[in-house]
Amino acid sequence: MLKEVLNDSGKAFLLGNEAIARGALEAGIDVFSCYPGTPSSEIGDTLSYACKKLGNFVMEYSVNEKVAVEVAAAAAFAGMKGMAAMKHVGINVASDALFSLAYTGVRGSMVVVTADDPSMHSSQNEQDNRWYGVSMKLPVIEPSNVQEAKDFTKFCFELSSKYEIPVFLRTYTRLSHSRGIVSLSPLPKKKFEKVNWVSDPKRFVVLPAHARKLKVELLEKIEKISSVFSRWDGNWIENGDSKFGIIACGLSYTYVKEACENLGIDAKILKISSPYPIPKDLIFDFLTEVEEVLVVEEVDPFLEMQVKALAKEEKLNVEIHGKDVLPSNYEYSISIVEDGIAKLLKKESVRNKANNLANLAPPRPPIFCPGCPHSATFYALRKAVNELLNEGIEVTFTGDIGCYTLGINKPFSAIDTCICMGASIGIGCGFSYVLKEKTVAIIGDSTFFHAGIPPLINAVHSCRDLTVIILDNSTTGMTGHQPHPGTSEFGCGEGEVVDLKSIVKGCGVTFVEEVNSYNVDKLKEVIKKAIMEDSVSVVISKQKCAILRRREAKAKGKKLRAYKVNNEKCNLCMKCINEFCCPAIYFDGEKIRIDPVLCASCGVCKRICPEGAIEIT
């Protein structure tokens, strides 16, 4: 629980992400920065809470992951303790800084949390960020339970400080979002105090001449760390009674334990919590004691390849398996691991039935919330493009990542592409070169600040014919309502609000109009006008996220007044259901009704009803 994160000692029932935050607090963190993204977001939300309560460290929700890493790195350059957290794809954004940070190293300590998402519960891809460890030459630590999540975070700070190197802590959805009882250590009594900068350009200015020397030092550091990992108690061997061994990493370790029990086998197990650099000596010892080994790890054969390479290098006579009997995609489960082991040992798998029961749950695809301003924007957009289509003007939609990606669904069908944050405008620039249709790029406010500004400048500079609709709901909605530069908070206090419209104008856009999203008639007209422009046009569709409106009303003791249908006037044309699709409006078989509990009082249904049959209660 959030409050328990600040307990002085004893035990607490924590979410994996809360445990990571607690680990950072126990380590005495000075500066924390993040950009939200599932499954990492609660690390930032917990440290934002802790920062306001403790006041002995600083934190910010940065504009994007690259900036987050740079902010934390600056603290570590100055001899302090910095940590940055993000989802796996955030590391792609931050990677430019990270590759060179590996060279400079740090004076204090720096931990970078990468939250991977096997099975893509809430992500556009399933990239395995352990590879970043190899290519950047940065250590990767991977916990397998909530206690380890806390303890290993602390360990990452210690390792980073000792070897003056940034360290990755790799978590993943199933750990970040599960709860467990965690034994706490006391929080250090510390103050936050500024320090003086000690200049060392040979280290912190990566000119080629400096970088060449730093690269050699980096290789030496990583070699040393590999031997440290062979002695670290986060990696260990469990002796079994057979010549069959299993090497397991992360959550797979816990699956392996149960799968072996279910199958009644007593395998030797090597638990690896440092997938990079691998503890070579420990793995060597393990391989010499077995004849056949199965490497169990989610997603890529990352350890498997390294173990095979080591066995070949050392000319060991051992058969190594992994992805030949286990899948390279999606999360594992006890039954998947059990099947893999059984297949290899030619045993009958005693399948765990829980997974099959999960399949019985009815599918519940995500939908816009009642009163979501994005529904109103997509309603107006769909109306606008239908009217333009009648005039022979066709439109393509480039989408972006956020709640508004749901505009892909019927009846709006207004997302043709979605790749990564900011790509709506970048792909829109490209489409405007090659497509006959007009292009509309749809992007959220947080996403615009994160990655939308450079492509907008690009569009203006290269004279593109492109309409950009910025959906400004004054929050980073999809990840849990974190602040962004367009809002008044920055994580640890009140900040300066950066005006979206001024930025758009500052990028050189001359057609910029801001419209209340709920004013669907005006919005439709403005969108049509914007699309008909032959240059870059920007429409800012502005209205606070309905969940926040509801919360604010509640906090002020105000009750939102629900709308209702006057069934005398309603002629069952179904436009409110078929064209607007508000989850609060339904047809009960005879009449259209509005669920007063769900209604968020946006009033859009009243505006669009041709019969004037919707009234405020």
Ligand X SMILES: Cc1ncc(C[n+]2csc(CCOP(=O)(O)OP(=O)(O)O)c2C)c(N)n1
Which residues lie near ligand X (CB under 6 A)? 35-37, 65, 87, 89-90, 93, 401-404, 421, 444-447, 471, 473, 475-479
DSSP conformation letters of 148-161? HHHHHHHHHHHHHH
We find the least distance from the C-beta atom of residue 500 to ligand X, in angstroms, to be 11
Beta strands in 186-318 (DSSP E): 236-238, 244-249, 268-272, 292-296
523: three-class secondary structure by DSSP? helix
**Shortest Å, Cβ 458 to ligand X:** 18
* Angle, CA 152 vertex, CA 150 and CA 153 arms, to 5°: 65
Closest residue by beta carbon to ligand X: 444
Q: Which residue lies nearer to ligand X by CB, 25 or 471?
A: 471
* Paired sense of beta strands 140-141 and 167-172, if any: parallel
- Among 391, 538, 475, CA closest to 61: 475
Instruction: Compare residues 279 and 486 and give the one whose CB is closer to ligand X.
Output: 486
Q: How far is the CB of 41 from ligand X (least distance, A)?
A: 8
Pairwise CA distance, residues 279 & 235, whole Å: 8
Q: How far is the CB of 404 from ligand X (least distance, A)?
A: 5
The residue among 293 and 500 lying less far from ligand X, judged by its C-beta, is 500
What tokens appear for 549 in the block? 């409106």
DSSP 382-432: HHHHHHHHHTT--EEEE--SSGGGGGGSTTT---SB--STTHHHHHHHHHH
Q: How far is the CB of 323 from ligand X (least distance, A)?
A: 27
Nearest residue (CB) to ligand X, 446 versus 517: 446
* Alpha-carbon 549 to chain mean position: 25
Q: How far is CA 176 from the centre of its chain?
A: 11
Q: How far is the CB of 319 from ligand X (least distance, A)?
A: 40
Instruction: Report which of 164, 101, 99 is spatially closest to residue 134, judged by C-alpha positions.
Output: 99
For residue 530 the two structure tokens come to: 């914007």
CB closer to ligand X out of 65 and 339: 65
Compute the least distance from the CB of residue 478 to ligand X, in Å. 3
Query: 176 vs 306, which CB is nearer to ligand X?
Result: 176
Q: How long, in residues, is the chain?
A: 617
- Residue among 26 and 400 whose Cβ is closer to ligand X: 400
Give the whole-angstrom CA distance, residue 5 versus residue 14. Answer: 7
Q: How far is the CB of 33 from ligand X (least distance, A)?
A: 13
CB of 89 to ligand X, least distance (A): 4
Judged by beta carbon, residue 65 or residue 338, the one nearer ligand X is 65
Indicate the residue among 259 and 470 with the shorter CB distance to ligand X: 470
DSSP H/E element including 125? none
Could you tell me the CA-to-CA distances from 545 to 373, 447, 504, 550 in Å, in that order? Answer: 7, 15, 21, 9
